[in-house]
Amino acid sequence: MSEHPTLRVLVYSDDRDVRSAVVAALGRHPHPDLPAFEYLECATEPVVFGHLDDRRPAHRVDLVILDGEATPAGGLGIARQIKDEIFRAAPVLVITGRPQDAWLATWSRADAVVTHPIQPLRLAEAVIGLARGVLAAG
């Protein structure tokens, strides 16, 4: 267990059902070796960047999960903007519409990618790997 009492995970999608599916798939404790997850659910791009731009330690975002199919701002473009504009950005996972869109996730510089429909085991595996990297980085 780390010094983190919780890991703050930002989940972005314009679709409430997608956000709910992500949170339900991961749960509060996706792995016994990790701290509990606290979720910040966002439906719009300005809210995403509002959270990411807030550098107060108590408001840090440790991990970002973006819906690549969200509209009007897609998660792939937001991922690219995060990586271009935020110094020491949190790791980003993008959920793409189809496996063939993996190249777009590479363009976006996402740290991990899974596809819709959300498969809880695949999502958890990717998120757990990113979360462990966050904890290892301190």
User: Which whole number is the average pLDDT over 96-121?
Assistant: 92
Q: Please give the sequence-ordered ranges of beta strands (E in DSSP) within the chain, or none if there are none.
A: 6-12, 36-42, 63-67, 92-96, 112-115
What is the C-alpha separation between 14 and 12, in angstroms, rounded?
Answer: 7
Average pLDDT over residues 118-131: 97
- Report the C-alpha gap between 71 and 126 in whole angstroms: 24
Pick the residue with more confidence: 41 or 3?
41
Mean pLDDT for the chain overall? 93
56 — pLDDT class (breaks 50, 70, 90): confident
- The pLDDT of 8-34, averaged and rounded, is 97
What pLDDT band is residue 10 in, cutting at 50, 70 and 90? very high
- Taking residues 60-64, what's their average pLDDT? 96
pLDDT value, residue 73: 96
In the chain the domains, ranked by start, together with CATH numbers, are 6-137 (3.40.50.2300)
Per-residue pLDDT band at 1 (split at 50, 70, 90): very low
Confidence (pTM): 0.95
